[in-house]
Structure formats: structure tokens, C-alpha cells
Amino acid sequence: MNEDLQRNLVHNKENIYFGLVLFVSILCYISLAFSIIGIVIILVLALISYFFHAISMAQIRRNAVRISPKQFPEIYIKAERLSVEMGLEKVPAMYVMESMGMLNAFATRFFGKNMVVMYSEIFDLIENDREDEMLFVLAHEFAHLKRRHVLVHFLILPAMWVPFLGESYMRACEYTCDRYAAFYIKDMEAAQNALTILAIGKKLHYRVNQEAFMSQLEEEKGFFTWLSEKLSTHPDLPKRMNSLYHWQNPHEYTLFKERKRHVVLVLFLTLVVSPALLFGIFYAVNKADQFLSEYAWNDDASEYEVENVTELMNAASENDLDTMQREIDGGADLNAKDSDDSTAIHYAVYNDSYEAVELLVQSGSNLDAKDYYGDTPLMIAAMNGNSDIVELLIKNGANKEIKGEEGYTAYEYAEENGDKEIMKLLAE
């Protein structure tokens, strides 16, 4: 992979579409912000989205297998190398979950931490001498995090209601992430094989004629064929393969392009139908707002935000030992609590920051402090499945018998997770 490819990792349409979706979304937010009911709509959508996302991610973190230095360490080392080369600040938390035959993976965030979830059908490739193909999929999801596609999702949410616009941006993001993944795994053949696997599965992909597969773009035409992709957040797989080949060798591979009349139709729907749709939404919101204002109804709801977070807490969550030591030497209160009653050691345990926990233990933190939910650091470490932190806390005198608000001890949380290693530590 040469320097020319590296300079063109970002698909040329991604930034253009991002500018459009950002502009439309900001207009929507500004318009809604002038309306009481509009503000309520924004808050309700945000809270509902956050709630269901948090529930889903919590379930994955509890039940999926996390790739770590102790779990598939050879894969973790390669993933760690990939994340460093791609410029990610930390290795994302990686989980593998059973998928009932589905081939998929996705990147997301959970309480400010980057996550990548791979379905087992993808991860199983390591058993079929297709490790590089699995790494392509992993690097593709890392690229979403690197490009902050996940981070801006809520910001551009209103644009997803505009026909074709949001989907166009997300398809451009997919092209970008394909390039990133192919570049950083340094194996174009594995990249194309991975896309072929997504099309036909693991068993027969090696028998697929990729040239013939890409030629389906010319053979399968028509309005509904075109429309099906325009309503999707992912490009058709033959187009992704064609785009990747063209990016690597533009002189040898011609980039497939849509018919002009289809492009004109997209512009018409985006520039004419979409503004009409948005106007209708704003008109309805305005009328509802007027109706409610007659009854002098008001709403002061705001998004929940944790307060009284200290520098020591922030540093502990990031495992920033230098800042922590400076704060401790400066007389910072080790047991200060935020608005959720969490202390610095809670923050360290929440984020699996072993060295930060160790420093706080040595400095005299209260190991049995309870947060708002009645959980001690030992309980949280048991819930997270972090045996190293559990062992550290026990050795330094953490009380194993304390019960949280749900009436569970740390041992019972470990038992609920089926974590025999931690159960053994807590039983001693």
C-alpha cells in the first residue's frame, strides 16, 4: 500500500455529505429549540435512544466474550497493533457474541468508551485460516471510531429523516472504512475476500468469481434495484468491491457509476420532497406548541449530568497516574463524592484502570465506599469480571460481606455472571 492510497483514505463524498447532514440537522435542532414541544421531542428521543442503547450494550458486556490479553491474546495483540497504527488513543473494548449464523460487526460507544462487537460467524474465521479477513472487518469498525462516525450519530440524527440524505452519508462512511481497513491490514486480497464472505458466507467464498460478481452491477439494473441501495445505509457489496479495486488501481479498474437519470431523481427528492416534509414537521410542531401554550404548560426537563466530578476522578477513569499523583500530593480528597456518590476509586474500577486502583489503595482510599446504587468498588469489579482488581481489593482489606441495594454481595454478583475465578477469590 503506497502513500497515494494513504492520502485518499477518506472517500471524496464523505465530507461533502457530512456538511449537508450537519447543516440540515442544525437547522432542525434550531427550529425545534424555539418550541417548547420541540425541546421535549429532542429530550424524549435522546433519552429513549440512550436508554435502549445502554440496555443493549450492558447485555452484550455481560454475556459476550471480551477479547483481552487473557482471552484470545494473539488476536488482542494484533488488534492492539492495529489501533496504534490507526491512531486510536486506546484499544477499543472488543466483544464476540453468538449470532445465529449472521455475518456482522459494529462499532459503538458505551459511557464514553469505544466498543466493537463482532458476531461469532465473523470471529470464527480465525479457525478457517482466514484471520486476515477477520482483521479486515475489525479494522473497518476501528475506522468508524477513528473517523468519529459513532460520536456524531446523535448530532446528525434529524438528517436521517430526510429521504436519501442520511443514507448517502453513511454509505460514504462505509467506503471510507473499507479503505482504512484494507490499508492498515496491508492485504487487499484479504479485504476483497472479506467482502465476498459477507455476500455468500464462509464456506463457498473461495469459489466466487469476484469479477463476475462485480459485473452484476451492469446486469442487475432498474429503478427498484437502484432504490433498494439508496434506502440503505450500506452500499451494495459488488459496489464496495469495485470501489476498493478502483481505489487501489484506478487505471485498471473502472469505477461503476449510476445512470444520470437516477442521480437527477435523487436530487429532486432531496431538494424538493425533503424540504416539504421538513416544513410539514415544523408546521405540526409549531401548531402543537401553540395549543399547549394556551394552557401555560411549561417544561424544564434537561439531560441528566453527573456533577461534582473532581480532577482526581477524571484522571482515575483514564488511568492517568501522573495527574493522579499530582492531585494526591496537592491534598485532593481521596474520598470526595460526585452527585452519584461515586469516589475516585469507583471511577478507576468502572473503567478497569488497574494501576489507578492500585495507587488509590496505597494512598488510603476508602475501599468500602458505596455509590448511589449501593455498590462498593469490590462489587463493581466483580460485575465487570476484573479478577485482577478483585484480588487487589481483597488483599488490601475490602469487605467481601457488604451487600448492595439489591441485597447482593460481590460473590453473588460473580456467581450471577458465572465467573468461577472471581468466585474462588471471594470465597477464600
Whether 335 and 361 have beta carbons less than 8 Å apart is answered as no
C-alpha cell at 132: 486476515
**Residues in the chain, overall count:** 428
| Local confidence pLDDT in tens for the 428 residues of the chain | 566 677 789 998 999 989 888 888 888 777 777 766 767 776 777 788 778 877 888 888 888 999 999 999 999 999 999 999 999 989 999 999 997 878 889 998 877 789 999 999 999 999 888 999 999 999 999 999 999 998 887 778 778 777 788 888 999 999 999 999 999 999 999 999 999 999 998 888 889 999 999 988 887 777 778 778 888 889 999 999 999 999 988 888 888 776 555 555 555 555 555 555 555 555 555 555 554 444 433 444 344 467 888 999 999 989 999 999 999 999 999 999 998 899 999 999 999 999 999 999 999 999 999 988 899 999 999 988 999 999 999 999 999 999 988 788 999 888 888 889 999 998 87
pLDDT of residue 298: 40
Q: Give CATH superfamily name and number for 311-427.
A: Ankyrin repeat-containing domain (1.25.40.20)
Q: Where in the chain is the domain with CATH 1.25.40.20?
A: 311-427
State which H helix or E strand residue 418 sits in. Answer: none
C-alpha cell at 428: 477464600
218 vs 223: CA distance, rounded Å: 13
184 Cβ contact partners less than 8 Å away, ≥ 6 residues apart: 82, 85, 86, 139, 142
404 vs 388: CA distance, rounded Å: 21
C-alpha cell at 316: 482515575
Beta bridge partners of 105: 118
CA dihedral 40, 46, 49, 55 (to 10 degrees): -110
